[in-house]
Structure 1
């Protein structure tokens, strides 16, 4: 049960609105720094979109659907004969829910451990340093804070004229809990979320089609050559792509959804049938109900809270971090800002290196990147070199029979300083950490190539790609 607080209680040093990755980390760090802190969360469970209906449940389904697909299609060639394989979707969904519950309860324990108060309720501004809170278990209270941090995250971007019912037309939330495998599953939007959830349901037996307005999948951070390779690998899984296609309307009947679309270049109309449609065209900042206008907090045309380089809003004493403001909508980016904002409040100093924020698409093979892409460097007029190394030439990948993909280095032409790394392949999401560390410390490609990597490991491909960017690889 949520605790209530009298309006005449001593003000908190820090009040955090939102218990997602940015919010709860900000609250924990503030508590560790000795600041009297409270976290207010309206969901009734900590962890935000990431833990409850995003990163964590989707990774559970991605992992378990991959195992199911492997048993059906991969184990026989490895000398493992399995008969009578069946999907128990109910148990798979329960495993997902168990992971979510365990982690959200763990966050609540971390708040207690660091002496952070926790209020379950919806907060809205009553003044620059004052919040009205509608408690989830009934009643209301008022909370005062010397510093207020807005960390309310993001929500699914709506598609004009299309209503999401979470049954036939679903958001990512509904796509995580479908009661049965749909025969035809159409994804509108070829970004990270659409590709991951499309992979899940394809592995479980659905016919999956991805409809994307642009001519490439993955989003703007992915290099063009990596995006093409990713598309080819997903087509091998059986996913169909309709790129350069604009959706005009989505209409549902008793057991079917009809999509009317058109080719962007030719204008040719296309009809697509589905049982379930996933609307995955992006996310937008979640500021509804906060009453930001009461304290004059400025927002831009895209609904993002405007902040300076110390996360201050236009209202003194109020700051904002995470998806609700600028930058990539990533849980780990919000976490870094959560630490920084607590340090700013306590010491006046904090820092996040936005040039070293990795991103991962958890398809199979995984796609990961950090730093600048070739497209960005061309636009900036930076002179650069590239080096690649395929997993087909890596001994561990060959042994594992997982040779799809490559590692690509982008380095400054004159100095060999690492500017960006892109990986498509097994365990790319783990391997990208080495690239992120290299960017954080300003390493050159030669620094990495001269660092001993264990043999046989997938990470040797990382070393070889670094070597290829300034000299020649040794094993290809």
Structure 2
């Protein structure tokens, strides 16, 4: 995310009366634009004429209730808003509710009659739910979609009603740093100027459209217009192997699409993911019968002669001559910020910048550097709804808050999720990023079926943990499988708090849940740290048991570890050959009460010798496995025999 050099406005003063006074002083100092024959003319703020800041504060203790209410009305009347929000998506609605819950007058500008507060991706989530519920007809899919939309509308309406957020149905365009030209959707209503103390731009993003795709052809969609599909395609081609493309490819295949082909010009699917998640994606698509064509671009997209609006027939010609015929083409090649036609250019001279991809440049609090103007969500590079909502809350806390925000530490890693089938989620760094940064790391992967819950559900999936190889600090968590988007929250907390695998082992999770994955991963990571460089944890653990038994012998007999190892080697070396064979090791361990398979024995031999080819454990190897260096002059079989071993 790009950052402007400007700093955000000072936080609201603490204390009720001082807060009110500060608010009204800001109002008094603002010029007001009022509608005239020429649309705008400047005059002294009518609020300043009616009431002064100190006057309202004084009235707070007045016995005359009428005068007090006049002061309050002066703040909340007419076309002045403490906050105006452009866009009623998840980030815009969150900003509006956050400010309104603090007692400020908020206007939410959006052309839609009904506010859902749902992200663009909500459509794919509804289709996904329909697919997982076994929908086989579009009527069943529509039912799930409609239920989702109605539920979202009810939830948003409830929030707006509770916190008195005013829905201004129409479009807004910035006139200057304190005024917006508002054009109602209802053309019978006049265009007017609205004055604000703070503005949040939350206009979201739109699908990128690149040639040679002709989006006017029947059956051709992008990640916005995909919501207009009214059938289950028979043959689907998806352009783009990113998050959106993979989601829809798997969903439509699950809904019964006979053929799905994903084409991408790059060589990796969802390149920002850890390699383990990328590989899991590819395996899932292969198992579902989805063809993946990488490092390939479209050269032509055309409608076949017998194509109609009701029965589209599309031909996609790829680089190299590959031809794909389909009845539905979905282009999912990323998104760009919706920032045109908002009047932002009028503030460019004051420092507001729109960067590459149409994203407004902001600081960590969503501040643009101009007056009280903020930008949050997709239009500011938020990418995911939850990130945009977090930006929205921070921006409102910064502008209307008490100053605590500047004293808080921001989450260094946010939990992110992808609603493919099955889900994927992650927090923190990938293994590849950690290694490229030169970090000393370890990794451990635990499959779902190692948990009790996994044994019950038989669901496929895994958790991969990236940790510091010495301290055990958790650096990243990556999950694949159903419920990953819920389970990742604990992993994100562990990364942000700087927790170690030892901290995780102290945490008590609910019984028979997939949270057990964290415990199992931490246990294995702990062993790997204890046995750094070990080729096999099983072998290292077995040698650990031998070492503990020998340590007890040291204590009981009052001998040094070297003396005990001399005796132990003679016990293991049954034929006094000067080395221990796999058969001798197995027999000796059996005598110590350790029943191990031939496979485990061979792993112990490899662990001791450091070679997959050497099956003889020399005396030096035996000492070194217990971190005891051979004595000088004792280097070989003959010397060992001379020592009486």
Tell me, yes or no, whether TM beats 0.5: yes
Corresponding residue of 2:278: 227
Corresponding residue of 1:42: 111
Corresponding residue of 2:139: 90
Which of 98, 101, 104 does residue 29 from structure 1 map onto? 98
Q: Classify the secondary structure of the residue corresponding to 1:302.
A: helix
Corresponding residue of 2:624: none
Q: Which has the larger radius of gyration?
A: 2
Distance in 2 separating the partners of 1:97 and 1:56: 12
State whether residues 411 and 496 of structure 2, in contact with CA within 8 Å, keep that contact through their aligned partners in structure 1: no
Which of 156, 160, 168 does residue 119 from structure 1 map onto? 168
State whether residues 90 and 117 of structure 2, in contact with CA within 8 Å, keep that contact through their aligned partners in structure 1: yes
State whether residues 440 and 469 of structure 2, in contact with CA within 8 Å, keep that contact through their aligned partners in structure 1: yes
Say whether 1:200 aligns with 2:255. no
What is the CA distance between 1:331 and its match in structure 2?
0.3
Distance 1:353 1:47, change over 3 A: farther
What is the CA distance between 1:406 and its match in structure 2?
1.1
Which of 58, 71, 82 does residue 13 from structure 1 map onto? 82
State whether residues 365 and 425 of structure 1, in contact with CA within 8 Å, keep that contact through their aligned partners in structure 2: yes
Q: Classify the secondary structure of the residue corresponding to 1:447.
A: helix
The 5-angstrom pairing of residues 305-320 of structure 1 reads 305-320=360-375
Q: Out of 164-173 and 364-373, give the one that drifted further.
A: 164-173
Corresponding residue of 1:383: 440
Residues 237-284 of structure 1: CA deviation (Å, up to 9, x unaligned): 22111122222232223132111222xxxxx33221111000001111
State whether residues 207 and 335 of structure 2, in contact with CA within 8 Å, keep that contact through their aligned partners in structure 1: yes
State whether residues 212 and 299 of structure 2, in contact with CA within 8 Å, keep that contact through their aligned partners in structure 1: no
Distance in 2 separating the partners of 1:326 and 1:141: 30
Corresponding residue of 1:355: 412
Say whether 1:209 aligns with 2:261. yes
What is the CA distance between 1:100 and its match in structure 2?
1.0
Q: What do you get for the CA RMSD once the two structures are aligned?
A: 2.3
What is the CA distance between 1:352 and its match in structure 2?
7.9
What is the CA distance between 1:142 and its match in structure 2?
1.8
TM-score (norm 2): 0.65
Give 1 or 2: higher strand fraction. 1
Corresponding residue of 1:109: 158
Distance in 2 separating the partners of 1:40 and 1:309: 24
Task: Give the number of aligned pairs.
Answer: 442
Q: Out of 122-131 and 443-452, give the one that drifted further.
A: 443-452
Distance in 2 separating the partners of 1:333 and 1:213: 28
Corresponding residue of 1:467: 523
Residues 141-167 of structure 1: CA deviation (Å, up to 9, x unaligned): 221111111111111111134232484
Q: Classify the secondary structure of the residue corresponding to 1:339.
A: helix
Residues 391-448 of structure 1: CA deviation (Å, up to 9, x unaligned): 232232232121x221001122332222111001121111111112223333222211
The 5-angstrom pairing of residues 337-416 of structure 1 reads 337-347=391-401, 348-350=403-405, 353=410, 355-402=412-459, 404-416=460-472
Distance 1:236 1:68, change over 3 A: same
Distance 1:155 1:25, change over 3 A: same
Q: Out of 346-355 and 453-462, give the one that drifted further.
A: 346-355
Distance 1:435 1:6, change over 3 A: farther
What is the CA distance between 1:48 and its match in structure 2?
5.2
Corresponding residue of 2:186: 137
Distance in 2 separating the partners of 1:344 and 1:405: 41
Which of 457, 460, 470 does residue 513 from structure 2 map onto? 457
Corresponding residue of 1:333: 387
What is the CA distance between 1:122 and its match in structure 2?
0.8
Say whether 1:100 aligns with 2:149. yes
What is the CA distance between 1:177 and its match in structure 2?
4.3
Distance 1:184 1:311, change over 3 A: same
Distance in 1 separating the partners of 2:359 and 2:524: 41
Corresponding residue of 2:330: 278
Structure with the greater relative contact order (CA < 8 A, sep ≥ 6): 1 or 2? 1
Corresponding residue of 1:74: none
Distance in 1 separating the partners of 2:433 and 2:111: 38
Residues 199-252 of structure 1: CA deviation (Å, up to 9, x unaligned): 1211122111111222221341x1112211221022212211112222223222
Distance in 1 separating the partners of 2:145 and 2:97: 26
Which of 483, 493, 511 does residue 427 from structure 1 map onto? 483
Distance in 1 separating the partners of 2:430 and 2:374: 31
Distance in 2 separating the partners of 1:384 and 1:420: 11
State whether residues 340 and 352 of structure 1, in contact with CA within 8 Å, keep that contact through their aligned partners in structure 2: no
State whether residues 337 and 352 of structure 1, in contact with CA within 8 Å, keep that contact through their aligned partners in structure 2: no
TM-score (norm 1): 0.87
Corresponding residue of 1:62: 128
